[in-house]
Structure 1
Amino acid sequence: MLSLSLRQTIRPLFLRVSGCLGREGQVTAESCRRGLSSADGWTGQENLAQDDPEMWSLLQQEKERQCRGLELIASENFCSRAALEAQGSCLNNKYSEGYPGQRYYGGAEIVDKIELLCQKRALFAFGLDPSLWGVNVQLYSGSPANFAAYTSVLQPHDRIMGLDLPDGGHSGGTDTHLALVDLRPHGMDGARAERVLELVSITANKNTCPGDKSAMTPGGLRTGTPALTSRQFKEAAFEKVVEFIDEGIQIALDVKKKTGNLSSFKSFLLEDQETVSRIAELRQRVELFARPFPMSGFTDH
């Protein structure tokens, strides 16, 4: 039980925050019913277009970019509508530090059920016996996941060897969905190829190849298939994607012959009228090809 003095102290705070105090400090049924909505018109039920039109416009622009282009970033994919609904649900409201049955805060009984369900499904997905294996499903990005793997095999003060970035990075064992294209034999680099492809609505990323000296102008271009397979791309469609990439790299090669460093290369792409026309024509064909394929998630954002 709270002491009388403590209750007297905190009661006005809660009432004022909830909008239940009148002008003279008295509690009124009408002021409590109106709550915050009487002060500034906000109810918490406004959609994003109403609450923040500028941000809503940017979301729509990004959705448009994804639908009309070819996404080849190997670590990206298109989230399903079901997953987006879960991520944008009331679960965002709950702080759940700790583990099931061992939380630092109350009100976690449903969150516990959700995390236990995720653990059960993870063990099933990897064919593991729950009586022999446990799983942590809270790791949310590459860095902590890597750290968890390291701590499972290392003792305090141990060291483990790794590859330097110019030596090629990780990305082994992923050859079913990822390709690192060495452009150096063609006199091209990943930075220039990446920029031209971006201008024609093809998204890939520059990547180092073994022996590269710079991560900013590496010799490779990394491409991946997950996002486009989620859009129902099959073998024939990917062959067409490769043709588009080849055309883009040819533009890059032609521009490289007429320019010096990377900065002048990028400027030339936007200033030379012949090059601008070639890029626009290729971008139009890429977008015309990409747009009819289905897209996961919501239709408008």
Structure 2
Amino acid sequence: MSTLHAIIIAIIEGITEFLPISSTGHMAIASAIMGDHGPFVELFEIVIQFGAILSVVVLYWRKFFDFKKISFYIKLIIAIIPALVFGALFKKHIDAMLEKPMIIAVIMLLGGFVLLFVDKWFQKPTIDREDNITVKKGFIIGCYQVLSILFPGLSRSAATIIGGMQQKLSRRLAAEFSFFLAVPTMLAATVYSLYKMYKEQPEVLTHSGNMGTLLLGCVIAFIVAILAIKFFITYLQKHGFRLFGWYRIIVGLALIILFYTGVIGK
């Protein structure tokens, strides 16, 4: 994996991780376009997601380090359970889907149509404070996160935000809870991926420059993600999801055309 590829993928991750447009899908497509594949590339795309997620801990540090509110941690633990279970059960399915950019493009396209109507579906939120999110609601939102695991390209952010809005959370609170939920989710994915790589292909981790590339990717994704979060929260409260819906539709259609014309391999 070249340094330029690593920088490009890290920037894409930082921008897209918290937007409802699928960071996994964008990274998979970018890697397909650049023709760079292999175990380290797959590991890199997972680990830098945790780098981006750390921006949430920094921006919301008061929330994450307020140990007096144990309920906050309980909600996150309960909410992450569905993702852990389904992630473990369908690991091979997920890996196979990620190797098929055409499927990701179709899912991205269909997800765009959903985002065009989300604001109309959930117009009367009743919950605007994190304290009012019950454990049950947190678990249901966690179940929505499973959809993004089973269908790469759907977007973890989109799935959990829509899940939050379906549970009567305001757009802002749904987005923030989605951010919070991403922290334990990506921590678990990162630790598991590193452990699996260490057990099965330790030479990938010990190869000269690979750890430095991982660190570089995490730092870049972290910095870019901080800017993306601030933009997204402000924009979402004022304008909703339609822009992101149209973006997904345009990108999805463009990618499908590129696949069928042979510009990008399927």
Q: What TM-score do the two structures reach when normalised by structure 2?
A: 0.22
Q: What TM-score do the two structures reach when normalised by structure 1?
A: 0.20
Which of structures 1 and 2 has the larger relative contact order (alpha carbons within 8 angstroms, sep 6+)?
Answer: 2
Higher Rg of the two aligned structures:
1
Structure with greater strand percent = 1
Structure with greater helix percent = 2
